[in-house]
A and B are shown apart, each in its own frame.
Chain A
């Protein structure tokens, strides 16, 4: 220590110091100064009344608080919780009911096999995930919680499964499988039966197709029956609609203008009613 200035400069050793040992960081060269495994600063800090370190990680995750702004979190213990709110197309995956101080859930891996293949993310310390989208009905899915500590590693929970339900009878979303030859997007695209009839009644159920191409009306055929079905049968179906019965439609879009690749939403609504149901589909190529 030099002593060449006019005033007095004094360094006092208050005890417990770790002078001369180099701390280890996750990636100091890139500005990531979180402690890495084996750093001499881990559990070597002074007691503090502030229980959160930088990043809102709890202090004293080990034998004591760490030196420095961050608190080293060892490989977390990941415990896969149960799956709840399972429907035919979604489920809620839960982390541990009581997250321990060492658990940092970062997401779930899930898929139809124990290879998983798909992930759903969550914020640290969040107990549960949003509902997992786009699940197939009547399918068994495997899932496990994945928890990551940036300075230590990743812990994976045990494999668990859930099985999606069958779609409720009569409550199907409209099934639309546009092929490359299918199309809409023009001012009107009609299902074959209606197209064949060339007419559209104000009492007919309408399919409204909204997407990147704009808005189009599509007449629906299906269980209501084609226009050339016996008048009595069609009237009976319409009566069911008026009474609020669920009716299944299976429409098909005819090509008028090729749909561009992208995400579309198909909405089925009943004329004269505020009820509607929607389903998304994607044109890949």
Chain B
């Protein structure tokens, strides 16, 4: 399945719900201006064998885990990408509660390939990378690496 909406300003192209599973999907999102923000795929459930690309002149994320509740999910063999200089990460794990993303066999590519942030003091964002490929990583929070 190839998801490429014609209306591309701000928002999410694909949202994998908690009860859902994504497999062999292509999701593209374009943030056309510097103020716009686009997420190609928002995860609340697992995603497999998929390509998620965010582009445009604005902010874009390939794959994001962003949950208001404590949550964990995984992506396997995916290629999240953010292609624009102003774009955000190819793979972002972001938020307030305890969220955990296990990324297995993932190629993460963007201005910042991997981006972690925990916005609240009580929050903890964890990204577990296994057999994956990335170069740059940025963490916002009391970061640690083990």
Which residues of A come within 8 Å of B, CB atoms? 1-23, 31, 33, 40-41, 44-46, 48, 50, 52-56, 59, 65-70
Find out whether the CB atom of A5 lies under 8 angstroms from the CB atom of B146: no
Q: Which of B8-16, B32-40, B77-85 contacts A (4 or more CB under 8 A)?
A: B77-85
Shortest beta-carbon distance from B50 to chain A in Å: 5
* Contacts A9-B125, A12-B127, A69-B51 given; does A41 touch B145 at CB 8 Å: no
Q: List 26 A-B contacts (CB under 8 A).
A: A1-B145, A5-B143, A7-B118, A7-B141, A8-B144, A9-B139, A10-B139, A10-B146, A11-B116, A12-B126, A12-B127, A12-B128, A12-B145, A13-B129, A14-B102, A21-B133, A23-B133, A31-B53, A45-B104, A50-B48, A54-B26, A66-B105, A67-B105, A67-B107, A69-B49, A69-B107
Give the top 7 A-B pairs by smallest Cβ distance, nearest first: A7-B118, A14-B130, A7-B123, A9-B141, A45-B105, A5-B141, A16-B131
Find out whether the CB atom of A18 lies under 8 angstroms from the CB atom of B49: no
Does B69 touch A at the CB level, under 8 Å?
no
- Determine the residue in chain A with the shortest Cβ distance to B128: A12
Indicate with 1 or 0, residue by residue over B55-83, a CB within 8 angstroms of chain A CB atoms: 00000000000000000000011110100
From B119, B129, B141, B142, A17 is in contact (CB under 8 Å) with B129
From B23, B123, B133, A67 is in contact (CB under 8 Å) with B133
Find out whether the CB atom of B139 lies under 8 angstroms from the CB atom of A7: no
What CA separation (Å) do A15 and B120 show in the bound complex?
Answer: 29
From B53, B120, B144, A10 is in contact (CB under 8 Å) with B144
From B24, B81, B119, B134, A7 is in contact (CB under 8 Å) with B119
Write out the residue numbers on chain B whose beta carbons fall within 8 Å of the beta carbon of A3. 139, 141-144
Find out whether the CB atom of B79 lies under 8 angstroms from the CB atom of A44: no
* Contacts A54-B24, A69-B49 given; does A17 touch B132 at CB 8 Å: yes
Find out whether the CB atom of B140 lies under 8 angstroms from the CB atom of A9: yes
- Determine the residue in chain B with the shortest Cβ distance to A41: B133
Find out whether the CB atom of A23 lies under 8 angstroms from the CB atom of B109: yes
Of the listed residues A1, A5, A44, A56, the one surrounded by the most CB atoms of chain B closer than 10 A to its CB is A5
Find out whether the CB atom of B77 lies under 8 angstroms from the CB atom of A41: no
Indicate with 1 or 0, residue by residue over B4-47, a CB within 8 angstroms of chain A CB atoms: 00000000000000000001101010000000000000000000
List 15 additional contacts besides A10-B116, A50-B77, A69-B49; criterion CB under 8 Å.
A1-B143, A4-B141, A5-B117, A6-B120, A6-B142, A7-B117, A7-B142, A9-B125, A11-B116, A11-B127, A11-B128, A13-B129, A18-B132, A22-B135, A48-B105
Find out whether the CB atom of B53 lies under 8 angstroms from the CB atom of A6: no
Find out whether the CB atom of A13 lies under 8 angstroms from the CB atom of B122: no
Write out the residue numbers on chain A whose beta carbons fall within 8 Å of the beta carbon of B141. 3-9
What CA separation (Å) do A6 and B95 show in the bound complex?
Answer: 11
What CA separation (Å) do A12 and B122 show in the bound complex?
Answer: 19
Find out whether the CB atom of B130 lies under 8 angstroms from the CB atom of A46: yes
Find out whether the CB atom of B24 lies under 8 angstroms from the CB atom of A52: yes
What CA separation (Å) do A91 and B118 show in the bound complex?
Answer: 65
Shortest beta-carbon distance from B62 to chain A in Å: 11
Write out the residue numbers on chain A whose beta carbons fall within 8 Å of the beta carbon of B137. 1, 11
Write out the residue numbers on chain B whose beta carbons fall within 8 Å of the beta carbon of A56. 24
Write out the residue numbers on chain B whose beta carbons fall within 8 Å of the beta carbon of A5. 117-119, 139-143
